[in-house]
Amino acid sequence: MFMKNLSIIIAVIALAISGVIFFTRQSVNAEGNKMNNQKTLVVYYSYSGNTEIIAKKIQSQTGADLFKIETVKPYPTGYNEVVEQAKQEKASSYMPELKQKVANLQDYDTVFVGTPIWWYTMAPAVKSFLSENNLSGKTIIPFCTHGGGGCSAAFSDMEKFAPDSKFKKGLVIYEKGNSSTDEEITRWLKSL
């Protein structure tokens, strides 16, 4: 009798565990994670930290790898100085040298590309990333953070640097987001 009860208990536990695993996988996929089993990367540049916050939220919900774009020469720490430098860089189409490259970019099917909005477009570091990497045939999903001007031309400008990529609907977040940003990201990912 004891062995029969033990066998039943073990069978019930095994079923419970397999059910938890099944439903966990289903809910993860329902939230957009793993992007339909494609290899996914979140690439971003962040000056103030706002874009990094959103990049990490996207990474958390998708299970993607994460890559931070960094310039060899750091930007000034003072707000007014960086605003003036960004204005000059935009006017001259300057693209800063980047510290490192994504070692295995060719392995990714989908690349989220995040930028703060600087002078109505993407930050020059993101422009450098797009111009230095072959993203042909990849799905590009842009996202941006802004201080009040919206996305402006950032997403259409990105498309000019990766014309042979498939672009999907971008996400626009004011500053670092708010208490409903996680839900907004979830809805956006489901819509892709």
* Same domain (yes/no): 26, 44: no
* Same domain (yes/no): 59, 142: yes
* Same domain (yes/no): 17, 102: no
* Same domain (yes/no): 16, 53: no
* Same domain (yes/no): 145, 66: yes
* Same domain (yes/no): 153, 100: yes
Q: What share of the chain is helix, strand, coil (3-state, %, to 5)?
A: 50, 20, 35
pLDDT in the model for residue 38 = 84
* pTM, two decimal places: 0.81
Question: What domain range is 81 assigned to?
Answer: 36-191
Low-confidence residues of the chain: pLDDT under 50: 2, 6-7, 9-33
pLDDT tens, 33-78? Answer: 455 678 999 999 999 999 999 999 999 999 999 999 999 999 999 9
* Same domain (yes/no): 22, 42: no
- Sign of the C-alpha dihedral, residues 109, 114, 118, 123? negative
> Which domain CATH number covers 109?
3.40.50.360
Domains contained in the chain, number: 2
- Sign of the C-alpha dihedral, residues 118, 116, 50, 184? positive
* Same domain (yes/no): 76, 130: yes
Spatial distance between the Cα atoms of 13 and 19, rounded to a whole number of angstroms: 10
Beta-bridged to residue 122, according to DSSP, are: 117
pLDDT in the model for residue 35 = 58
pLDDT in the model for residue 37 = 73
Contact 125, 71 (CB under 8 A): yes
* Same domain (yes/no): 61, 137: yes
* Same domain (yes/no): 97, 24: no
* Same domain (yes/no): 26, 108: no
* Same domain (yes/no): 91, 23: no
pLDDT in the model for residue 5 = 52
